[in-house]
Every structure is written in C-alpha cells, then in structure tokens.
Chains A and B, each alone.
Chain A
Amino acid sequence: MIWPALTVLPGRILAPLLLAGFALLGSALNYAIQMQEFRHQVASDQRRRLTEILNFEQSRLEVQSGLASRFHVSRLVASMGLHSAITNALLVDANGHVVGAMLRARLHRPLTDAIASEPPAVRAGLLAIASGQGKGIEIVQSPGDFALLGRVAIRPDMTLIVRSDLGIPLALRTAAGNQEIRRETALILLFAAALAILLHVLWFGRSARLTAAVAAIGEGRFDTRSGLTGRDELGQIGQALDRMAADLQARHANLEQLSTLINRSPVVAIEWRKEPGLPVTYVSDSVRRWGYTPEELLSGAVRYRDLIHPEDCARLRAALVSHLVEGPDDYRGEHRVRHVSGQWIWLDSRTWLIRDASGRVTHIRSVLLDITSLKETEEALLRLNATLEARVVERTAQLEAANRELESFSYAVSHDLKAPLRGIDGYSQILLEDYRDRLDDEGRQFLANIRRGVAQMHELIEDLLAYAHIERQAPQPEPVSLQQLVDEVLDSYAHEIAALGAKIDVDVRTPELPVDRNGLALVLRNLVGNALKFSRNAAPPRIGISSREEAGTMLLRVRDNGIGFDMKYHDRIFGIFQRLHRAEDYPGTGVGLALVRKAIERMGGTVRAESEPGKGATFLVEFPL
C-alpha cells in the first residue's frame, strides 16, 4: 500500500523527504535514548557537584563555627541558596535545632518544625538523611522525589543537610538537549534541502530532462537531444539516448527518402492488415499511376480486390491462402488489375507476410511493378518464337526434301550409271573369252583397254557416291576401339598385303575413341589402301599405323615407305579429283584423299601429309579428345 504511494512522488521530492524522515526518526530515537541518559547523567553530575559543594561548605562552616559566629554561620548556610539546584540547606545542631537555613524563618526551630511547610516527600527525605550517623559526606537519591539528599558533619557537633533538586538540572539539560535536537533537526532539514537541490541538479533535473527527451522522441520528434553529459548513469543513458535519437532521426530521414523514392517510383507498395476485408493500411503515392488516389484505397472507397482481373482472382486468393497456411512467407506472382480507364495492367507482385511476436500474420505487404509492356514483349517473343519454329520446321522440311532429292539422285546415278558399265564389261569379257580365236592381239588389247576403262569408271562412280554419302549422313559418335578397327581394315586388305608381302607395324595406344565408326573406317581403309598402293614397289613395302595421345589430342599416323610426293603438293592431294600420277602408273580416282579429309573434318579432326619424294609418306590425323 505504501509502495505505490512512494512511486507516485517524483524522486527529487521523495529522496530528500525519505532522507529527512529517516534522519529525523533517528534523531527522535536518539532524543528518547538521550532523555533516559540525561536522568542518569544529571543524577551523577549533581551528585558529584553536591559532593564538592558539601566538601567546600564543610570546611567553610567549620572555620566559621570555630569562630563561634552564629550569625555568620547561619548566613553562610543561607547563601547556599546561590547554588541553583539546592532547594534546602539546614544546619542542625546536636539538639536537632536548626541553626542555619536558607530561609530565615526556619532558624532556631526544631528541624521537624522548620521543614513543616515542605511537601511530604521532601520532608521525609530530609528527615531520613538527617538521621544518618556517618562522619563523611553522604548522598542518596531520594526515593520518592527526583532529588539528591546530602549530609555532612560539621565539627564539632553539627550536621548540614541539603536537598539538591534534580528536576531543575534535568530540565536544563533537557532544554539543552532540545536545543541540540532543534539544531540537529534544523541541520538535517537544511542538509536534506541542500541534498534535494543537489539531487535535483545532479540527478532529478537531469532525469527530468531525460524523461522529457524520451517522451519527445516517443512522440516522434527525433531531433530532440537530452544534452546530458558526464559519465554517471544518467549521463550514459542520456548519451545513449542521444545516439539512439540521432539514429532514429537518420532512419526516419532515410525512411522519408525511401518513401519519397517509393512514391516517385513506378513501384506501388501496399500493405493490408490481415483481417476480414483486408483493409489497406498503407499505399504509396505511386498508385496514382493506376488512376486511383491513396485515400480512395485507404478509406475503402476503392477495394483492391475489385481491381483484380476476374481470371486472376481465384489464383491470387489460392496463392495467398496456401502461403498463409504453409508458407513460405515470401512469394512472387503476376496478376492483372484494372486501370481506372478500364485498361488492364499486368503487375509483377512480390508479397511477404508480416508476423507478430507470437507468429501470427498481422499484415501482408506487396510491391507491385507494372510489367504490362514487358508482358506484351513477352507475348511478341512467344509469337516470334512460334513463327521461327514454324520457319525452322519449314526449312528443315525443305532441307530434308533436298536431302531426299539428293539421295534419290545419287541412287539414280548409281543405278543408272552403273547399268551400262555392266553391259560393256560383260560383253567385252564374252568377246575375250568366246571370240578369242577370232581376234588378233590388237583386238584383244582393245578389249582389255575397254575393260580397264569400265573398271575405272566404276571406281569413280563408287567414290563419288561415297563422297556424296558422307555429306548426307549425320555422324554418329560411339566409343570405337581403334585397335579393332585397324585390325578389321587390315583384314579387308589381307589379300593385297599377302600379295605384296607388306610388313605392317601397328602401334595403337588409344584404347577407345568416341568417333563415327563408319567415318573412321573409311579413313583407315583409304589411307591403308593408299599406303599399300604407293609402296608396292618397295622391297618390302612397310606400313606403320600408330596412334598416341598428346595434349588432349589423339594422333593417328599412317606411314609407308613408298614413292612419297613433293611437299609442294601436300595440300593439293586432298582436293577432289586431284591426282599426282598418271592412271596407268598408279590407279585411282583422285577422290580417296578428298573423302578422307571430308570424313575427318566431319568428325572434328584434321589431316595432313608429310613426305619426301622416294622416302615414303606419312599421313597424320588429329582428333581432339
């Protein structure tokens, strides 16, 4: 109950108040304790004092009594009244008569009479002490009376009894004590006030400034600064606050700039609050591009969902629902909205869901970019693509048609060109065999020439067909075992090799090669055939077939020890129908090496030849691996 009350008061009032309160309470306690002590102190002080007085008076009185001056003695006793605490002083002789008293009226009376006018407690005490017998100073505290009673013997036979009131010294002491208390209290209050001022200056003033600064910043005035310096807690808080405010100010400025940027950019930013109806809580100024004002959307005069194209509505809703349920919280999409003029605008939307601390979605934000022109371009592209495809299909069809024409052409060529050759060869052979005896040598020679011509023609036709064939076929690379292929080709030339007694060296290191099998076979056949042909006069003909890999390339080498050629023709030999020798010296159509080059080039390789006349020739084929 007390604590809320305490927190209501501002600290600068509460602290000094509490301090003063506690200090005063301490003072009060101290006072109470002191009061107790005073009684004892006063009693002991007065006791000592009384002892001194009695001692002094004893000697004084004894002197005077020795001088037998009764008057003087009585006056001496009377002047004991000057001691402020002494209320009664009576000098009693041996007979119990008062011979000296503070009050003259008491003189010359018996003690009991003399003190009759005193209050009972005082009387009792005086009588009690008077009846004592000791020779020295005796002091007792009167039991029923806050006073000391003292007695001292005065020679030769008198007794001095005194009563020293403790109440008066106690009152004095108390008064002094009160004075002290007052002074203390005044000091406490003074110091409390000083402390209050100091606290106010040091802390509360500053904390008030801090509070005001925090409140101002909370209201949005980010240019507020607490202006607190110093290294104490408030100073640090103040400086941290100032930094925070500066940071906020900068961010706010940033935010304003961004806002301006957003408002100026074609991007429309919208925020909906996730509750039924999806009210719009923020929309950037750029929405004016669509022909609507932000106020219309914020107030609900224009509802966003009404702007969505009917075809996209269901899809959008489904997407939102799906992301709300399963996430993720960020997603993209496209949809159309209606411009105020009625035209449709394509929008690229990036949406993200904003969750609160407990994970519930509270807001949905989107940035929407007008992509209408993009979309149009896209569609144009698609249409173009389609046309292109159609054109490609058309072209391909055309090419295929051309190809087929070529195929049928070469078919026709082969079939129709070869047919007469059969006839020529056949009848000339029949003539040679069946009409041998009717022909002379020249006649037989002519027939042989005719037959040779036919053979050449046939070879040429076959080579031409092969050349055309290569162009038509698409290369089909497959892993080809080079060793195996070489063996096959050599097998097919086994007859010639045996007939020529040729020596073949095969050093094939490449295990496999991804090439078109037919193409490579063609190449090998031609190269080996050529090597055999041009080295038939060597003794013995030597042919070397080797392959190795080098720096990412496969090198195939076919070497012979034949007649070789002049290097100035090294490239010409690969031309179609190019021959370096007369047909009767070395048969050939001039198409073989052209075939080889074409085939190799289609496989992605290169071929070249090196030679010296009479020193054989080396054909080098390179394939990139």
Chain B
Amino acid sequence: MHNAFVAAAFGLAMMFLAGCSEAPPLPLSVGVNPWIGNDPIVFAYERRYVDRSRVKVVELASSSQALRTLDNGLLDAAALTLDEALRLADKGAAIRIVAVLAMSRGADAVVARSPITRPAQLKGKRIGIEDGAAGRLMLARMMETSPLRSNDVLLLRLEASQQEDALRDGWVDAIVTFEPMKSRLQGDGYQVIFDSSAMPGEIIDVLVVRADVLERRLGDVVDLLAGWQRGVTALHTTPEAFADLLAPSTSLTPAQYRAALDGLTFVTLEQSTELLSGQPAPFVARHTGLAELMVDLEMIDGPPDWPALIADTAARAAVKRTESGP
C-alpha cells in the first residue's frame, strides 16, 4: 500500500513536470526564396549544420511568398532583402533584423531579351519586376544613369518564379531578376543591361525574425545563424562540394553556379554583429539612403524605427558559439 502511494505520487510529479515544461515547439521555420544568396542556409540545412528539430528551412517560390507567409505567421523567420524587410516593418509587422547575410554586387540584374542591350532601349517596353523595393531601387539607379524616366516603361508585377518564363515566352521585354535566374538566362543568351555591382552595398539580404520568436526562441535563431555561418564557411572552403550539391537544382552547371556566387559578398557573423550593434548601429547610417528612397517612392510611409528594428543579440550569441566550437 505504501509503495503504491509513493508510485502514484511519483507519477503525478512526472505528470506535473511534463506539464510544466514548455510544449515542444515546432522547428523554427525559416523561409528562403530561390535567391542563391540563401544557398548557405540551404546547404547548412541539407548538411544538417542546423538541428532539424529546431530549425526548418522552407524554400519558397518567391520573396513575396516569403513576405506573405512571414506576415501571416506561418514563418518564424525569413531571408529577405532589406527593402522587403523595411516594407514589412512599415506595414506594422513586429520583426527584427538579426543578421546581414549577403550583399549583392552583381547578383541582381536587369535582364533583357534581344535586341535590347542598353537601358535606353527599354523605352516603351514592358519590364517584369517583383513587387519588392530591390527591383525598384535597381530600376531607379538604372534610370539615374540613363535617359529613361519612370513613365517611359511599363512595369508588370511578376513573381520571381514567373519572371523567367515570362521573359522566355516574350510576355515581357526585360525582367529585374537575380541569380540564379540571371545566370541561367545569361547562359541562354539574354542580356544583362544593368546589375547591382553598380550600386554596391545597397541591395543586401538580411535575416528577419519575428520579434516574439526572437524573444522566445533565441537559441534556435542562434542555431540557425551558426549553421548559416558554417554554410558560408563551407562555401569558401569547399566550393566544389557546395556547387555540386546546389548547382543542379538551379539548372546551372557547377561552374556557372560558382560564377554566379561571385556576384555576392557573404557577410560574416562578426561583421554582422559589428554592423548591427551600437547606438546608432553602422547599419543605420549605411542604409538610411535606401529608406529615404523608399519613402520617395512611396514604398514606405516614413523612415523606420531603426533601434527597434535591429537586434544584434542572436548574431552576437552565434559568434560566441562558433568561436567555442561547431
């Protein structure tokens, strides 16, 4: 009798403890678009540099989808361009920029079908563009150095996954796209008439995490960043393996793939941390211009609340972790 009571009490205690622990959470869902800048994350996920029970990388058709899904709450984090992040924040989403992933220097481009070879030739033409600011920014920069004015061109909103086909099929004359579509199309004879190397550091990718997720699941975010860093490291140390794994799905040859990757500068976690920390963070100074442009373009209503937007905690912790070991 006595033992039975003890056992029951023990069982109850266990039950309590089980109840007391937090519900095992779903893995942190990170949405990535087909942008190759996100490939280190894909690599890390494929190679299990991240704990798959804690982090789940979901490849999405486009950044718009990523935005939508993030906004809807089905994604916990997403790799977005800065302008996409600002637009999201401006809409009122509670998000935090936790890391700078990559900077575009040529990976974003305006690709046109022949016979268009120069921006001026786009006058009166149809341009397929994502509904994001990166593309608009690039177009704006392109027009700065050309006689084109915004109402000289007809903009068609197209998702990234649709752009390639639309260009190939001739629905549009040019698309504002990015790798690997750019290299793919280049390989098929299409012309790059403008690219982000003309505007270095303006089109950057950042990792955006929902504010509540960052608070609750900092560890998982750190895991993600650490994994991403390992992916980046692998890219630099074993580029062949990297390319072998990921090139096929881009329909590029490994060589093409690697060349495409050259259009990017991956930012290390330390650099990320540097950029994001401080009051004010250097990041802010760098990208105030973009924010202003977006305000001019009426993409956002006002400048973002930078201090609220930026969070360096995850990057910092991830740096510590990678320093202490893989």
Contacts and interface: CB of A to CB of B under 8 A. Distances in A.
Contact of A107 (B16, B18, B19, B248): B248
Interface in A74-111: 74-76, 78-79, 81-82, 84, 102-109
B24 A175 contact: yes
Interface size class of A (residues with CB under 8 A): 35 or more
Contact of B58 (A78, A175, A185): A78
Interface of B: 1-2, 8, 11-12, 15-16, 18-24, 26, 29, 31, 34, 39, 42-43, 45-46, 48, 56-62, 65, 69, 74-75, 161-162, 164-165, 245-246, 248-251
A178 interface: yes
A580 interface: no
Given A1-B1, A25-B12, A79-B65, A172 B26 contact: yes
A69 B158 CA distance: 14
B8 to A, nearest CB: 6
Contact of B60 (A2, A75, A84, A105): A75
B252 to A, nearest CB: 11
Nearest to A74: B249
Contact of B249 (A105, A117, A176, A181): A105
Contacts of A168: 24, 26
B8 A179 contact: no
A175 B165 CA distance: 45
Nearest to A76: B61
18 contacts: A71-B34, A74-B249, A75-B34, A79-B60, A79-B61, A81-B57, A82-B58, A82-B60, A82-B74, A104-B249, A104-B250, A105-B42, A109-B248, A117-B46, A168-B26, A171-B24, A172-B24, A176-B23
Nearest to A172: B23
Provide the main secondary structure of the chain B interface: helix
A79 B31 CA distance: 9
A182 B19 contact: yes
Nearest to B36: A104
A102 B58 contact: yes
A181 B59 contact: no
B59 A103 contact: yes
Given A28-B12, A108-B249, A182-B19, A103 B42 contact: yes
A78 B248 CA distance: 15
A21 to B, nearest CB: 8
Given A79-B59, A82-B74, A2 B1 contact: yes
Contact of A175 (B2, B23, B59, B69): B23
Interface of A is mostly: helix
A576 B58 CA distance: 169
B20 A182 contact: yes
Given A78-B60, A79-B60, A102-B59, A179 B161 contact: no
Contacts of A25: 8, 12
Contacts of A28: 8, 11-12, 15
Interface string A24-57: 1101100100000000000000000000000000
Contact of A72 (B12, B58, B61): B61
Contacts of A175: 22-24
B42 A84 contact: no
Contacts of B57: 81, 103
A188 to B, nearest CB: 11
A152 B71 CA distance: 30
B15 A181 contact: yes
Contacts of B1: 1-2
Nearest to B17: A178
Given A75-B161, A84-B29, A103 B46 contact: yes
Contacts of A81: 29, 56-59
A81 B78 CA distance: 13
A507 to B, nearest CB: 114
A75 B12 contact: no
A174 B24 CA distance: 9
Nearest to A71: B161
Given A69-B165, A71-B165, A117-B48, 19 more contacts: A2-B1, A28-B11, A69-B162, A71-B34, A72-B165, A74-B249, A75-B60, A81-B56, A82-B31, A82-B58, A103-B42, A105-B43, A105-B46, A106-B249, A171-B23, A171-B24, A175-B22, A176-B23, A178-B18
B42 A75 contact: no
A179 B19 contact: yes
Contact of B16 (A105, A172, A182): A182
A108 B248 contact: yes
A78 B59 contact: yes
Nearest 4 interchain pairs by C-beta: A175-B23, A81-B58, A107-B249, A75-B61
A511 to B, nearest CB: 103
A106 B47 CA distance: 12
Contacts of B65: 79
Interface in A9-32: 24-25, 27-28, 31
Contacts of A176: 23
A330 B18 CA distance: 81
A78 B61 contact: yes
Contacts of B46: 103-105, 117
Contacts of A103: 42, 45-46, 57, 59
Given A71-B161, A82-B74, A104-B59, A185 B26 contact: no
Contacts of B48: 117
Contacts of B164: 71
B59 A178 contact: no
B169 to A, nearest CB: 10
Contacts of B24: 168, 171-172, 175
Contact of A82 (B8, B16, B29): B29
Nearest to A180: B19
Contacts of B16: 182, 185
A574 B33 CA distance: 172
A222 B59 CA distance: 88
Contacts of B34: 71, 75
A78 B15 CA distance: 38
A202 to B, nearest CB: 28
Contacts of A178: 15, 18-19, 21, 23
Contacts of B58: 78-79, 81-82, 102
Contacts of B20: 182
A423 B317 CA distance: 187
B52 to A, nearest CB: 8
A71 B246 CA distance: 14
Contact of B69 (A24, A82, A117): A82
B235 to A, nearest CB: 14
Interface string A577-609: 000000000000000000000000000000000
Given A25-B12, A79-B65, A107-B249, A181 B19 contact: yes
